Amino acid sequence: MGKTNTLISRISIIFLSIICTFAVLELLGRKILPKPQTIAIENLHVGPTGNGPVLDKIGLSAPDIFYRTPTGLRLRPNVRGIIDGHDLSKKRVSFSTNSLGYRHEELRFKTDTDVRILAVGDSITFQEYLPLEETYPFQVEKYIREHPPASLTGKQVDVINAGVGMIGSENELAILMETGLSVRPDIVLVEMYLNDARESFSLKLIKTPPLLQKSYLINSLVHTVNILRAKQLEHQKTNEEVNREGVHFITVNPIDRISSASWQTSKPAFNRLIAEYFQDWGYAWSDTHWKKMEEVFRLMKELSIEHKFQLVVALFPVRYQVESAILEDWPGQQFSLLMNKLNITHIDLLPILRKKFNDDTINLYYDSAHPTASGSAFIGSEIGKFFIENNIL
């Protein structure tokens, strides 16, 4: 009996020690770690369900906002909510969708005085990590309204955000055909990123247990594990597979030892990045990527002629291209060739963003793809300026 009591006492001491250690670490964590992201959804109108909620299959922590359809991922219509302490921006963001599942107010009947620009794209356009007024589509509208050309006298410009996170160009075409044409756009602005030839990879997230969701320490650990798993998935193609894809850079030797930090000044190091991120933006250095893009944009061009809207495509670079001292613009060259071949109005943002970064060295990105609020404001103003200077409006 005495041995049993001693054993229970030791287990109790160990258990209390663990609890006390966790409490101390949690207190320290609340001093140095960011507040965990929380999401409150209200007025959830389920609408079409497809295969049901996909929170556990994609990388955006927003319960029931998405559903799958036979043609890809969509935002649920008529959703309102608040994302507090977003993992990317750390901001408190109010979020809502209209009856079409767009991040925009409900659209009224279009009149002759309305000029509508429909912005389609992935998470770079959707930008749920920023308040609506800080997103680049909103900033395009703001710039045009503040610098209206004579052609807009007596008219009102409305930029409609139809972006959906983690989709590819084929999915964007489907959105345009299914709901986009119904808003009778005068201009369709397509945001093209370097991984758009394929739907973004999916990742089943590890979730924080409900009882521990308010813990800074546990949430930070879970978030870190998810990021590491995502990076592993991004890098899963072997060098041999990359080299078979017709990638336009020097063949990567798997035994090369190149510092990842030297991509800013070393072409071999930048080539290594392309190979490592081939599952994501590195795919744009392959011939396969541009063959797929030609198929999609040929259909978009045909739609623009049939439904009488102006098609404009903006190419968004990866952050590494913007900040490297070496100009790595092979995708931009292919982009221009393709757009000219199809007679599509286009803008390559790489030279504009490189000049901006070289002028003031201010960071414009939260990660490798998603612009900050200031980056979005700059991009929005440049696209708005492009519209006006090229008489698109």
pLDDT in tens, the chain (393 residues): 566 667 677 777 777 777 777 566 656 756 665 665 555 555 544 444 434 333 333 333 444 578 888 888 899 888 888 888 888 898 888 888 999 999 999 999 999 999 999 999 999 999 999 999 999 999 999 999 999 999 999 999 999 999 998 899 999 999 999 999 999 999 999 999 999 986 544 444 445 555 555 665 555 565 555 445 455 554 454 455 555 555 655 444 444 444 556 899 988 889 888 888 888 899 899 988 999 999 999 999 999 999 999 999 999 999 999 999 999 999 999 999 999 999 999 999 999 999 999 999 999 999 999 999 999 999 999 999 999 999 999
**Strands (DSSP E) along the chain, which ranges?**
38-42, 66-69, 72-75, 80-84, 93-96, 114-120, 156-161, 187-192, 310-315, 345-348
Contact 77, 99 (CB under 8 A): yes
The pLDDT score that the predictor gives to residue 204 is 45
The pLDDT score that the predictor gives to residue 189 is 98
- The token pair at 172 is 């964007």
In sequence order, the 6+-apart residues with CB closer than 8 A to the CB of 383 are 136, 140, 143, 189, 314, 347
pTM of the full structure: 0.79
